[in-house]
């Protein structure tokens, strides 16, 4: 078994690969016009080369992200090709769900293993304010969740960024999604990065607010970077992801590669190393070297500001 370890002995087995920085949503905390002028997609060839090189280093979990990964017309082809690579044990995707309904079946057939669905509000007027910049995009989330389950995707995770004044009055409604659905709703603390640096001052709320609203939640322990809870007799779980109030860098097992082919070993670090145009072997060597230089932790908790020069939309969450 091949292991990739950083300078602190952490096993790194997870790559978040941003295949585009284009997005059909413009979330107030994520999207930044200044950064989204030069839209970039990773070519299929680069994607394959990067995944092969990563697997050769010891990575076995790949998550496709963006931007919005389902905006890519060749998304099915991308998934099929990644699944053919020996050593990829899990392929997952993070999506806002907008293009998902029609793609569910082909995505399942392509071999995609898991889906993380980002939903910040179940109310269309609120989602418009958060994500759509007042355009008229809309998603029927309950129907979409039902279809994802029926299509046979297991361990659905719903990611909800806690935004004080926008969606914190919906915490119980999100927890209620776990009543009759075998899924995990994960409340994520807003991170001060890109456009969120300003927003953070007014909209940040500590994830423990969820436990205050739903005091009946029972702790189940850690699942990766999230603390898991459950309501008695409910089918699903609730997770709290607290990068600011209770940072989990000691458990970090991931690296990121952006859609313009830069390695970021820490989401909130300033270091970015380009692998564009390199051979598979050279990418492999660069990943190994950068992983050894991976910082131990970010300092969002102290500085309340990311050192990353990019917003999330051009890194990939
Ligand atoms: N477009 C896809 C989506 O919406 O899931 C994938 C990309 S998006 C950057 C990935 C995740 O990052 C989303 O769940 C989003 O809510 C989260 N995210 C973006 N900016 C964030 C911030 N400042 N703090 C916390 N989470 C953030």
- 119 Cβ contact list (under 8 Å, min separation 6): 97, 127, 141, 158, 159, 160, 174
CA of 29 from ligand 1 middle (Å) equals 8
- 8 Å CB contact between 245 and 187: no
Most confident of 1-5, 33-37, 79-83: 79-83
pLDDT band at 309 (very low <50, low <70, confident <90, very high): confident
Report the residue among 103, 120, 164, 317 best suited for mutation to probe ligand 1: largest number of ligand atoms under 8 A from its CB. Answer: 317
Q: What is the pLDDT of residue 135?
A: 59
Q: Is 64 helix (H, G, I), strand (E, B) or coil?
A: strand
Higher pLDDT, 124 or 73: 73
Per-residue pLDDT, 137: 66
Which residues partner with 65 through β-bridges? Answer: 18
Q: What percent of the chain has pLDDT over 90?
A: 89
What are the structural domain ranges in the chain?
A: 14-314
What's the pLDDT at 29?
95
Name the β-bridge partners of 223.
226
For the chain, strand residue ranges (E) read 14-20, 61-66, 90-95, 114-118, 157-162, 184-189, 218-223, 226-230, 237-241, 254-257, 262-264, 273-274
Virtual torsion, Cα 209, 214, 220, 225, nearest 10 deg:
-30
Distinct helix (H) and strand (E) counts, the chain: 10, 12
Q: Is the pLDDT of residue 256 over 60?
A: yes
Mean per-residue pLDDT of the chain: 95
Q: Is the pTM of this model over 0.95?
A: yes
The model's pLDDT over 136-183, given as tens digits with 9 standing for 90+, comes to 667 899 999 999 999 999 999 999 999 999 999 999 999 999 999 999
Angle, CA of 10, 16 and 20, to the nearest 5°: 160
User: What per-residue confidence (pLDDT) applies to 33?
Assistant: 80
Give mean pLDDT, residues 202-224: 97
Residue 3 is predicted with a pLDDT of 87
Q: Is the CB of 243 under 6 A from ligand 1?
A: no
Q: What is the pLDDT of residue 301?
A: 84
Mean pLDDT value of segment 46-63:
98
Is 14-314 in CATH node 3.20.20.70?
Answer: yes
Ligand 1 atom closest to the Cα of residue 120 is 16
What does the pLDDT look like over 220-230, one tens digit per residue?
Answer: 999 989 999 99
Between the CA of 27 and the centroid of ligand 1 the distance, in Å, is 8
Residue 80 has pLDDT above 60, yes or no: yes
Query: Each residue of 85-143: pLDDT tens digit?
Result: 999 999 999 999 999 999 999 999 999 999 999 999 999 899 999 997 655 667 899 99
């Amino acid at each position: 078994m091949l292991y990739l370890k950083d300078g602190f002995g952490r096993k790194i087995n997870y790559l978040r690969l941003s295949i585009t920085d284009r997005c059909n949503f413009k979330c107030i905390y994520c999207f930044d016009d200044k950064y989204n002028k030069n839209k970039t997609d990773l070519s299929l060839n680069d994607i394959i080369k990067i995944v092969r090189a990563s697997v050769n280093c010891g990575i076995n979990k790949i998550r496709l992200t963006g931007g919005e990964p389902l905006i890519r017309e060749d998304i099915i082809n991308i998934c099929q090709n990644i699944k053919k690579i020996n050593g990829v044990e899990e392929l997952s995707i993070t999506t806002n769900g907008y293009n998902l309904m029609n793609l569910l079946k082909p995505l399942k057939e392509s071999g995609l293993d898991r889906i993380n669905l980002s939903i910040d509000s179940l109310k269309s007027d609120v989602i418009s304010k958060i994500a759509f910049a007042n355009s008229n995009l809309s998603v029927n989330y309950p129907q979409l969740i039902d279809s994802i389950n029926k299509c046979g995707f297991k361990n659905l995770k719903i990611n909800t960024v806690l935004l004080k004044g926008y969606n914190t009055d919906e915490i119980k409604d999100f927890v209620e999604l776990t009543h009759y659905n075998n899924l995990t709703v994960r409340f994520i603390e807003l991170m001060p990065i890109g456009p969120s640096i300003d927003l953070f001052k007014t909209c940040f709320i500590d994830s423990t607010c969820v436990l205050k609203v739903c005091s009946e939640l029972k702790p189940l322990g850690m699942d990766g970077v999230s603390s898991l809870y459950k309501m008695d007799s409910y089918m699903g779980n609730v997770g709290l992801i607290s990068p600011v109030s209770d940072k989990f860098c000691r458990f970090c097992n991931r690296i990121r590669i952006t859609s313009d082919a830069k390695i970021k070993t820490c989401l909130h670090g300033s270091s970015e190393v380009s692998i564009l145009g390199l051979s598979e072997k050279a990418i492999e060597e660069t990943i190994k070297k950068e992983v050894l230089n991976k910082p131990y932790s970010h300092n969002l908790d102290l500085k309340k500001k990311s050192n990353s020069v990019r917003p999330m939309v051009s890194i990939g969450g």
